Amino acid sequence: MATNNFLPFAIDPAANVISQGAWNALLARTGGFTAGVAQSNQLNKVWRQSSVIAALIGRYVAEIGGLDALDDGDVTALLDHFVATLRAQAPNYFVAGGSANTLTVTFSPAFVNAAAMIGVPIRVKIASANTGAATLNGYPIVRQDSAATRKGDLQPGIREMFFDGTSFRLFSLILQTERTVTLLGRVTAQYATNGVETAIEWAPPAAGTDPLGWYNPAQPTRLTCPAGIDRAVFSFSIGFEASSVGYRKGRVVVNGTAEGSGLPVDVLLPNASDLTIPNGAGAPYPMAAGDYAQVLAFTNPGGPHLLRRQNTFFSVSY
Protein backbone atom coordinates (compact mmCIF):
# COMPACT_ATOMS: atom_id res chain seq x y z
CA MET A 1 0.00 0.00 0.00
CA ALA A 2 1.34 3.42 -0.96
CA THR A 3 2.48 5.81 1.76
CA ASN A 4 1.32 9.39 2.24
CA ASN A 5 3.36 11.53 4.66
CA PHE A 6 1.42 14.74 4.06
CA LEU A 7 -1.15 15.06 6.81
CA PRO A 8 -3.55 17.92 7.53
CA PHE A 9 -3.02 20.23 10.51
CA ALA A 10 -5.62 21.63 12.93
CA ILE A 11 -8.61 19.80 11.43
CA ASP A 12 -10.46 19.10 14.66
CA PRO A 13 -13.85 20.87 14.69
CA ALA A 14 -12.77 22.65 17.88
CA ALA A 15 -9.32 23.57 16.52
CA ASN A 16 -7.90 26.95 17.51
CA VAL A 17 -8.30 28.76 14.19
CA ILE A 18 -9.99 32.01 13.26
CA SER A 19 -13.22 31.88 11.28
CA GLN A 20 -13.26 32.10 7.51
CA GLY A 21 -14.88 35.52 7.72
CA ALA A 22 -12.14 36.80 10.03
CA TRP A 23 -9.52 35.28 7.74
CA ASN A 24 -11.01 37.01 4.71
CA ALA A 25 -10.86 40.37 6.49
CA LEU A 26 -7.40 39.92 8.06
CA LEU A 27 -4.97 42.52 6.68
CA ALA A 28 -2.02 40.18 7.23
CA ARG A 29 -3.59 37.69 4.80
CA THR A 30 -2.40 39.79 1.85
CA GLY A 31 0.55 41.65 3.34
CA GLY A 32 1.87 38.95 5.65
CA PHE A 33 2.70 39.22 9.35
CA THR A 34 5.12 42.04 10.20
CA ALA A 35 6.51 43.24 13.55
CA GLY A 36 4.84 42.10 16.73
CA VAL A 37 3.35 38.87 17.96
CA ALA A 38 1.02 36.89 15.69
CA GLN A 39 -1.97 35.29 17.31
CA SER A 40 -1.89 31.51 17.41
CA ASN A 41 -5.35 31.11 15.87
CA GLN A 42 -4.25 33.23 12.91
CA LEU A 43 -1.09 31.18 12.35
CA ASN A 44 -3.05 27.95 12.77
CA LYS A 45 -5.34 29.11 9.95
CA VAL A 46 -2.33 29.68 7.69
CA TRP A 47 -0.86 26.28 8.48
CA ARG A 48 -4.18 24.47 8.17
CA GLN A 49 -4.91 25.88 4.71
CA SER A 50 -1.50 24.93 3.33
CA SER A 51 -1.44 21.53 5.05
CA VAL A 52 -4.91 20.58 3.81
CA ILE A 53 -3.90 21.21 0.19
CA ALA A 54 -0.66 19.27 0.70
CA ALA A 55 -2.64 16.42 2.29
CA LEU A 56 -5.10 16.42 -0.61
CA ILE A 57 -2.27 16.03 -3.13
CA GLY A 58 -0.64 13.36 -0.99
CA ARG A 59 -3.87 11.36 -0.74
CA TYR A 60 -4.50 11.72 -4.47
CA VAL A 61 -1.06 10.35 -5.33
CA ALA A 62 -1.21 7.51 -2.79
CA GLU A 63 -4.88 6.49 -2.92
CA ILE A 64 -5.72 7.16 -6.55
CA GLY A 65 -2.33 6.65 -8.16
CA GLY A 66 -1.03 3.97 -5.81
CA LEU A 67 2.31 5.80 -5.51
CA ASP A 68 4.20 7.09 -2.47
CA ALA A 69 3.92 10.74 -1.41
CA LEU A 70 6.89 11.11 0.93
CA ASP A 71 7.90 14.15 3.00
CA ASP A 72 11.61 13.71 2.29
CA GLY A 73 12.31 16.93 0.41
CA ASP A 74 12.47 15.16 -2.98
CA VAL A 75 10.24 17.48 -5.00
CA THR A 76 11.15 15.79 -8.30
CA ALA A 77 9.96 12.37 -7.13
CA LEU A 78 6.73 13.83 -5.76
CA LEU A 79 6.10 15.68 -9.02
CA ASP A 80 6.75 12.52 -11.07
CA HIS A 81 4.25 10.59 -8.97
CA PHE A 82 1.69 13.38 -9.23
CA VAL A 83 1.99 13.56 -13.04
CA ALA A 84 1.82 9.76 -13.34
CA THR A 85 -1.40 9.77 -11.33
CA LEU A 86 -2.90 12.46 -13.54
CA ARG A 87 -2.02 10.53 -16.70
CA ALA A 88 -3.59 7.31 -15.45
CA GLN A 89 -7.01 9.00 -15.02
CA ALA A 90 -8.04 6.23 -12.65
CA PRO A 91 -11.20 8.07 -11.47
CA ASN A 92 -12.51 7.89 -15.06
CA TYR A 93 -12.03 4.12 -15.46
CA PHE A 94 -14.84 1.72 -14.56
CA VAL A 95 -15.61 -1.97 -14.79
CA ALA A 96 -19.19 -2.28 -16.03
CA GLY A 97 -21.78 -4.33 -14.24
CA GLY A 98 -25.30 -5.16 -15.33
CA SER A 99 -25.95 -7.07 -18.55
CA ALA A 100 -24.64 -6.87 -22.12
CA ASN A 101 -27.29 -4.33 -23.17
CA THR A 102 -27.92 -2.69 -19.78
CA LEU A 103 -24.56 -1.60 -18.40
CA THR A 104 -24.03 0.00 -15.01
CA VAL A 105 -21.08 1.73 -13.36
CA THR A 106 -20.66 3.39 -9.97
CA PHE A 107 -19.20 6.88 -10.05
CA SER A 108 -17.15 7.54 -6.92
CA PRO A 109 -17.51 10.21 -5.83
CA ALA A 110 -20.94 10.53 -7.42
CA PHE A 111 -21.71 13.40 -9.79
CA VAL A 112 -23.95 15.98 -8.14
CA ASN A 113 -26.31 15.84 -11.14
CA ALA A 114 -26.45 14.85 -14.81
CA ALA A 115 -25.27 18.30 -15.93
CA ALA A 116 -22.01 17.78 -14.06
CA MET A 117 -21.27 14.73 -16.24
CA ILE A 118 -21.50 16.57 -19.57
CA GLY A 119 -18.25 16.34 -21.53
CA VAL A 120 -16.47 14.11 -19.00
CA PRO A 121 -14.63 11.29 -20.83
CA ILE A 122 -14.85 7.86 -19.25
CA ARG A 123 -13.39 4.43 -20.03
CA VAL A 124 -15.62 1.44 -19.40
CA LYS A 125 -14.44 -2.16 -19.36
CA ILE A 126 -17.13 -4.34 -20.93
CA ALA A 127 -17.36 -8.09 -20.36
CA SER A 128 -19.53 -9.22 -23.28
CA ALA A 129 -20.73 -7.96 -26.66
CA ASN A 130 -24.09 -6.21 -26.86
CA THR A 131 -26.93 -7.82 -28.80
CA GLY A 132 -28.84 -4.61 -29.56
CA ALA A 133 -29.28 -1.02 -28.41
CA ALA A 134 -27.37 -0.56 -25.14
CA THR A 135 -27.62 1.77 -22.15
CA LEU A 136 -25.31 2.89 -19.36
CA ASN A 137 -26.88 3.79 -16.02
CA GLY A 138 -30.19 4.18 -17.84
CA TYR A 139 -28.89 6.55 -20.54
CA PRO A 140 -28.62 5.39 -24.19
CA ILE A 141 -25.17 4.57 -25.55
CA VAL A 142 -25.01 6.00 -29.07
CA ARG A 143 -22.69 6.11 -32.04
CA GLN A 144 -20.92 9.25 -33.21
CA ASP A 145 -23.85 10.04 -35.51
CA SER A 146 -26.32 9.74 -32.58
CA ALA A 147 -27.68 6.42 -33.87
CA ALA A 148 -28.39 3.79 -31.25
CA THR A 149 -25.74 1.16 -30.75
CA ARG A 150 -26.26 -1.99 -32.80
CA LYS A 151 -25.47 -5.61 -32.20
CA GLY A 152 -21.72 -6.07 -31.81
CA ASP A 153 -20.85 -2.36 -31.41
CA LEU A 154 -19.68 -2.99 -27.85
CA GLN A 155 -17.11 -5.75 -27.92
CA PRO A 156 -15.40 -7.12 -24.79
CA GLY A 157 -12.68 -4.74 -23.71
CA ILE A 158 -12.39 -1.06 -22.89
CA ARG A 159 -14.66 1.45 -24.64
CA GLU A 160 -14.28 5.23 -24.40
CA MET A 161 -17.32 7.48 -24.26
CA PHE A 162 -18.57 10.80 -22.90
CA PHE A 163 -21.90 12.12 -21.69
CA ASP A 164 -23.51 14.73 -23.97
CA GLY A 165 -26.45 15.63 -21.74
CA THR A 166 -28.85 12.95 -22.95
CA SER A 167 -26.70 9.94 -23.85
CA PHE A 168 -23.24 8.42 -23.62
CA ARG A 169 -21.56 8.97 -27.00
CA LEU A 170 -18.84 6.56 -28.11
CA PHE A 171 -15.47 7.81 -29.33
CA SER A 172 -14.32 6.65 -32.80
CA LEU A 173 -17.04 4.02 -33.03
CA ILE A 174 -17.38 3.99 -36.81
CA LEU A 175 -13.67 3.36 -37.29
CA GLN A 176 -13.55 0.74 -34.57
CA THR A 177 -16.69 -1.24 -35.28
CA GLU A 178 -17.59 -0.99 -38.97
CA ARG A 179 -17.07 -4.45 -40.41
CA THR A 180 -17.18 -5.96 -43.87
CA VAL A 181 -18.10 -9.48 -44.95
CA THR A 182 -16.93 -10.43 -48.44
CA LEU A 183 -18.09 -13.50 -50.38
CA LEU A 184 -16.47 -14.93 -53.50
CA GLY A 185 -18.24 -16.88 -56.21
CA ARG A 186 -18.57 -20.59 -55.57
CA VAL A 187 -15.68 -22.86 -56.58
CA THR A 188 -17.74 -25.01 -58.96
CA ALA A 189 -18.82 -23.59 -62.32
CA GLN A 190 -21.73 -21.16 -62.26
CA TYR A 191 -23.61 -19.70 -65.24
CA ALA A 192 -25.83 -16.71 -65.89
CA THR A 193 -28.83 -17.99 -67.85
CA ASN A 194 -29.64 -16.15 -71.06
CA GLY A 195 -32.49 -13.67 -70.64
CA VAL A 196 -33.15 -14.59 -67.01
CA GLU A 197 -31.79 -12.95 -63.89
CA THR A 198 -29.70 -15.45 -61.98
CA ALA A 199 -29.07 -15.21 -58.24
CA ILE A 200 -25.35 -15.82 -57.80
CA GLU A 201 -24.30 -18.49 -55.32
CA TRP A 202 -21.42 -17.70 -52.98
CA ALA A 203 -18.70 -19.67 -51.27
CA PRO A 204 -18.53 -19.39 -47.45
CA PRO A 205 -16.58 -16.36 -46.14
CA ALA A 206 -13.11 -16.76 -44.70
CA ALA A 207 -13.02 -18.04 -41.13
CA GLY A 208 -13.53 -15.32 -38.52
CA THR A 209 -14.73 -12.66 -40.99
CA ASP A 210 -18.47 -13.12 -40.43
CA PRO A 211 -18.97 -13.05 -36.63
CA LEU A 212 -22.67 -12.16 -36.81
CA GLY A 213 -23.59 -14.82 -39.36
CA TRP A 214 -24.68 -12.95 -42.49
CA TYR A 215 -23.92 -16.03 -44.58
CA ASN A 216 -25.89 -19.27 -44.25
CA PRO A 217 -24.59 -22.21 -46.33
CA ALA A 218 -28.15 -23.50 -46.57
CA GLN A 219 -29.04 -20.36 -48.56
CA PRO A 220 -25.83 -19.67 -50.51
CA THR A 221 -27.28 -16.88 -52.68
CA ARG A 222 -28.10 -14.68 -49.69
CA LEU A 223 -26.60 -12.35 -47.14
CA THR A 224 -29.19 -12.33 -44.33
CA CYS A 225 -29.29 -9.43 -41.88
CA PRO A 226 -28.62 -10.42 -38.23
CA ALA A 227 -30.54 -8.94 -35.31
CA GLY A 228 -29.34 -5.53 -34.13
CA ILE A 229 -28.36 -4.21 -37.58
CA ASP A 230 -30.53 -1.46 -39.05
CA ARG A 231 -28.62 -0.51 -42.21
CA ALA A 232 -25.86 -1.80 -44.44
CA VAL A 233 -23.83 -0.89 -47.52
CA PHE A 234 -23.62 -3.48 -50.31
CA SER A 235 -21.13 -3.75 -53.15
CA PHE A 236 -20.48 -6.34 -55.84
CA SER A 237 -18.54 -7.25 -58.93
CA ILE A 238 -19.41 -9.81 -61.63
CA GLY A 239 -16.87 -11.28 -64.04
CA PHE A 240 -18.20 -12.81 -67.27
CA GLU A 241 -16.47 -15.23 -69.59
CA ALA A 242 -14.74 -13.86 -72.68
CA SER A 243 -17.52 -14.90 -75.08
CA SER A 244 -20.08 -12.81 -73.20
CA VAL A 245 -20.61 -9.73 -75.38
CA GLY A 246 -24.33 -8.96 -75.08
CA TYR A 247 -26.17 -6.72 -72.67
CA ARG A 248 -25.07 -7.60 -69.15
CA LYS A 249 -26.42 -6.33 -65.88
CA GLY A 250 -25.81 -6.87 -62.19
CA ARG A 251 -27.85 -5.57 -59.30
CA VAL A 252 -28.46 -6.06 -55.59
CA VAL A 253 -31.99 -6.78 -54.42
CA VAL A 254 -33.32 -7.03 -50.87
CA ASN A 255 -36.02 -9.59 -50.10
CA GLY A 256 -36.31 -10.31 -53.82
CA THR A 257 -37.63 -6.85 -54.71
CA ALA A 258 -36.41 -4.48 -57.41
CA GLU A 259 -33.40 -2.36 -56.65
CA GLY A 260 -34.13 0.67 -54.51
CA SER A 261 -32.38 3.85 -53.47
CA GLY A 262 -29.01 2.92 -52.03
CA LEU A 263 -28.76 -0.52 -53.67
CA PRO A 264 -26.02 -0.79 -56.30
CA VAL A 265 -26.80 -1.59 -59.93
CA ASP A 266 -24.49 -1.56 -62.94
CA VAL A 267 -24.54 -2.61 -66.59
CA LEU A 268 -22.21 -3.43 -69.47
CA LEU A 269 -23.53 -2.38 -72.86
CA PRO A 270 -23.52 -4.80 -75.82
CA ASN A 271 -20.07 -5.41 -77.31
CA ALA A 272 -18.33 -3.65 -74.43
CA SER A 273 -14.71 -4.77 -74.32
CA ASP A 274 -14.73 -4.98 -70.50
CA LEU A 275 -15.72 -8.40 -69.20
CA THR A 276 -16.32 -7.37 -65.59
CA ILE A 277 -19.13 -5.34 -64.10
CA PRO A 278 -17.09 -3.16 -61.75
CA ASN A 279 -17.43 -2.73 -58.03
CA GLY A 280 -20.88 -1.20 -57.83
CA ALA A 281 -21.14 0.22 -54.30
CA GLY A 282 -24.38 1.55 -52.87
CA ALA A 283 -25.32 3.90 -50.05
CA PRO A 284 -26.47 2.87 -46.55
CA TYR A 285 -29.67 0.87 -46.99
CA PRO A 286 -32.27 0.24 -44.24
CA MET A 287 -32.24 -3.36 -43.05
CA ALA A 288 -34.00 -5.39 -40.37
CA ALA A 289 -33.33 -8.79 -38.87
CA GLY A 290 -34.13 -11.48 -41.42
CA ASP A 291 -33.93 -9.22 -44.49
CA TYR A 292 -31.74 -10.78 -47.14
CA ALA A 293 -29.76 -9.36 -50.05
CA GLN A 294 -28.80 -11.08 -53.30
CA VAL A 295 -26.81 -10.24 -56.41
CA LEU A 296 -28.68 -10.94 -59.65
CA ALA A 297 -26.74 -11.40 -62.90
CA PHE A 298 -28.36 -10.96 -66.32
CA THR A 299 -27.05 -11.42 -69.85
CA ASN A 300 -28.70 -11.28 -73.28
CA PRO A 301 -28.31 -12.46 -76.03
CA GLY A 302 -26.31 -15.65 -76.03
CA GLY A 303 -25.48 -17.79 -73.10
CA PRO A 304 -25.67 -19.24 -70.64
CA HIS A 305 -22.43 -17.46 -69.72
CA LEU A 306 -19.85 -18.67 -67.26
CA LEU A 307 -19.13 -16.39 -64.30
CA ARG A 308 -15.45 -15.97 -63.48
CA ARG A 309 -14.88 -16.59 -59.78
CA GLN A 310 -11.79 -14.39 -59.48
CA ASN A 311 -13.76 -11.32 -60.57
CA THR A 312 -17.04 -12.07 -58.82
CA PHE A 313 -17.69 -11.02 -55.22
CA PHE A 314 -20.40 -9.67 -52.91
CA SER A 315 -19.66 -7.50 -49.85
CA VAL A 316 -21.66 -5.99 -47.03
CA SER A 317 -20.38 -3.32 -44.65
CA TYR A 318 -22.30 -2.62 -41.46
Mean pLDDT of 26-39: 86
pLDDT value at 172 more than 70: no
pTM of the model: 0.53
In angstroms, rounded to a whole number, what is the distance separating the alpha carbons of residues 203 and 84? 52
CATH topology of domain 179-317: Jelly Rolls (2.60.120)
Mean pLDDT of 277-291: 75
Largest Cα–Cα distance of the chain, in whole Å? 114
Distance, CA of 316 to chain centre:
20
Kind of pairing between the strands at 231-239 and 276-281: antiparallel
pLDDT greater at residue 239 or residue 313: 313
Residue-averaged pLDDT of the chain: 85
pLDDT for the residue numbered 138? 95
Mean pLDDT of 43-69: 94
pLDDT for the residue numbered 311? 77
Half-sphere exposure of 166 (CA within 13 A, CB side): 5
Domain residue ranges of the chain, discontinuous segments joined by +: 20-87, 92-176, 179-317
pLDDT value at 55 more than 90: yes
Q: What is the pLDDT of residues 195-223, one digit of tens each?
A: 788 899 999 998 888 988 999 999 999 99
pLDDT for the residue numbered 242? 64
C-alpha distances in angstroms, 103 versus 41, 125, 303? 51, 10, 57
In angstroms, rounded to a whole number, what is the distance separating the alpha carbons of residues 310 and 318? 24
pLDDT value at 310 more than 80: no
Determine what percent of the chain falls in helix, strand and coil, rounding each to the nearest 5. 20, 30, 50
Bridge partner list, 307: 240
pLDDT band at residue 235 using 50, 70 and 90 as cut-offs: confident
In angstroms, rounded to a whole number, what is the distance separating the alpha carbons of residues 216 and 224? 8
In angstroms, rounded to a whole number, what is the distance separating the alpha carbons of residues 189 and 191? 7
pLDDT band at residue 153 using 50, 70 and 90 as cut-offs: confident
Do residues 118 and 97 make contact, with C-beta atoms less than 8 angstroms apart? Answer: no
C-alpha distances in angstroms, 53 versus 48, 58, 84? 9, 9, 19
- pLDDT more than 90, % of the chain: 47
pLDDT for the residue numbered 4? 95
Mean pLDDT of 102-120: 92
